């Protein structure tokens, strides 16, 4: 019989972490969730999740509650755990539950819903095939879609690139590689650009400079400065493209012939000037010149401008989704129901 347990001691926290090798106690401490739950059957953790309601992202007309750190070994444990998560968030005054998302979109979130034939790429989150169904069978529906796309011909150019570059040059805009020997200083310079360029994104949460730099520290050794581009005027950054080689190919014993374009950010005042298109074109051109053959445009929101830029070069190879479920707000455990 499956028992639901709220994690409140060291022993149950160890069990919570052991349900997946990808989650450490240090990460749990940093993510500052409001609650942790496990579903246990015969002493074994069958499912787990964390909940956020105190410091959740804003959503117009809603009070958001988040479900993250999600893992489940079977559909029945998932169903009971997600039901309890909905009850708890409703008791806390939330009007919508959204997941999976580990507290905010700077961390791990969404699920693969259409895998396709292409192998997993570096920094791509993965999940068992049945996890989307866990959410759908518990009353959740897709509320945001994402995709990754593959460009298999890096010789393909944006025909507008040269004219865009010439026009931006007259405005004083220049594009240069990231200086990896000034890694933290460079990230500090571009922090404000990335922050403002994403502020209208779905479930956006501000990130301070220290945590922004920490996001990139784990991949520092993989960075090739010629693939990471900064656009600026008089030393003031106004655009950033972050790409790196696909280290998963090496892990599979293959030659690395693919780059991953992970982040493309442009300051709002240049959003309609073609700067994003120029950075994407320049990065892929440099990649081709340095021996790469393909580019993956990674984890793009279906509503983001980067998706429209990608359409000029690439075909979709993977789809992802974030799920949401409306809640009926309740005021005590005695009033909780299966909504």
Token pair of 191, please?
A: 């922090």
Tell me the C-alpha distance between 271 and 328, whole Å: 39
pTM of the model: 0.93
Tell me the C-alpha distance between 129 and 145, whole Å: 17
Over residues 184-219, the pLDDT tens digits come to 999 999 999 988 999 989 999 999 999 999 999 999
Find residue 197's DSSP bridge partners. none
- Mean pLDDT, range 290-316, rounded to an integer: 95
- Mean pLDDT, range 286-304, rounded to an integer: 96
- Cβ-proximal residues to 276 (8 Å cutoff; 6+ apart), any chain: 239, 264, 266, 305, 306, 309
Over residues 10-53, the pLDDT tens digits come to 888 888 988 876 788 899 999 999 999 999 999 899 999 999 99
pLDDT above 90 covers a percentage of the chain that reads: 88
Over residues 8-21, the pLDDT tens digits come to 888 888 889 888 76
For the CA atoms of 136, 66, 322, 140, the dihedral, rounded to the nearest 10 degrees, stands at 20
Q: Which of 73, 174, 70, 114 is nearest to 316 (CA)?
A: 114
Residue 303 has pLDDT above 70, yes or no: yes
On whether the CB atoms of residues 258 and 248 are closer than 8 A, the answer is no
* Domains of the chain, earliest start first: 3-144+323-335 (3.40.630.30), 154-312 (3.40.630.30)
Q: What is the DSSP letter of 304?
A: S
Q: Residue 185 belongs to what H/E stretch?
A: helix 183-197
- Mean pLDDT, range 139-147, rounded to an integer: 97
Residue 339 has pLDDT above 50, yes or no: no
- Cβ-proximal residues to 122 (8 Å cutoff; 6+ apart), any chain: 222, 244, 245, 246, 247, 248, 260
Tell me the C-alpha distance between 74 and 46, whole Å: 7
On whether the CB atoms of residues 288 and 219 are closer than 8 A, the answer is no
Residue 334 has pLDDT above 70, yes or no: no
Residue keyed to tokens 């518990």: 138
Tell me the C-alpha distance between 88 and 29, whole Å: 21
Over residues 79-138, the pLDDT tens digits come to 999 999 999 999 999 999 999 999 999 999 999 999 999 999 999 999 999 999 999 999
DSSP string, 233-262: ETTEEEEEEEEEE-HHHHHTT----EEEEE
Give the pLDDT of residue 21: 67
Q: Residue 85 belongs to what H/E stretch?
A: helix 75-91
Q: What is the DSSP letter of 57?
A: P
DSSP E strand stretches across the chain: 3-6, 35-41, 44-52, 64-72, 96-99, 111-114, 141-151, 173-177, 229-233, 236-245, 258-266, 294-301, 315-326
Residue 162 has pLDDT above 50, yes or no: yes
Give the pLDDT of residue 67: 98
Work out the mean pLDDT of the chain and round it to a whole number: 93
Q: Helix, strand, coil proportions of the chain in percent (round to 5)?
A: 35, 30, 35
């Amino acid at each position: 019989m499956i028992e639901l347990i709220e994690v409140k001691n060291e022993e149950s926290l160890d069990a919570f972490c052991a349900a997946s090798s990808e989650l450490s106690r240090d990460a749990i401490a940093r993510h500052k969730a409001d609650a942790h739950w496990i579903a246990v059957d015969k002493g074994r953790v069958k499912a787990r999740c964390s909940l956020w309601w105190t410091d959740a992202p804003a959503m117009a007309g809603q009070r958001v509650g988040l479900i993250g750190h999600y893992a489940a070994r079977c559909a029945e444990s998932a169903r009971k755990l997600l039901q309890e998560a909905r009850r708890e968030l409703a008791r806390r005054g939330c009007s919508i539950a959204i997941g999976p998302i580990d507290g905010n979109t700077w961390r791990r979130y969404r699920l693969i819903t259409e895998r396709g034939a292409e192998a997993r790429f570096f920094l791509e989150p993965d999940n068992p095939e049945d996890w989307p169904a866990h959410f759908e069978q518990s009353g959740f529906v897709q509320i945001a879609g994402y995709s990754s796309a593959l460009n298999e011909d890096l010789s393909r150019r944006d025909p507008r690139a040269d004219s865009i570059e010439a026009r931006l040059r007259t405005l004083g805009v220049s594009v240069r590689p990231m200086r990896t020997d000034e890694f933290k200083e460079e990230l500090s310079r571009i922090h404000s650009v990335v922050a403002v360029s994403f502020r209208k994104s779905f479930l956006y949460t501000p990130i301070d400079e220290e945590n922004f730099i920490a996001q990139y520290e784990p991949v520092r050794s993989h960075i090739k400065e010629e693939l990471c581009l900064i656009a600026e005027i008089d030393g003031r950054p106004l655009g950033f493209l972050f790409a790196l080689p696909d280290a998963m190919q090496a892990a599979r014993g293959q030659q690395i012939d693919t780059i991953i374009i992970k982040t493309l950010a442009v300051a709002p005042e240049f959003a309609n000037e073609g700067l994003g298109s120029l950075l994407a074109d320049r990065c892929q051109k440099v990649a081709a010149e340095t021996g790469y053959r393909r580019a993956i445009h990674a984890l793009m929101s279906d509503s983001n401008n980067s998706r429209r830029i990608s359409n000029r070069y690439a075909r979709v190879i993977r789809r992802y989704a974030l799920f949401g479920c409306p809640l009926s707000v309740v005021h005590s455990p005695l009033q909780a129901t299966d909504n």
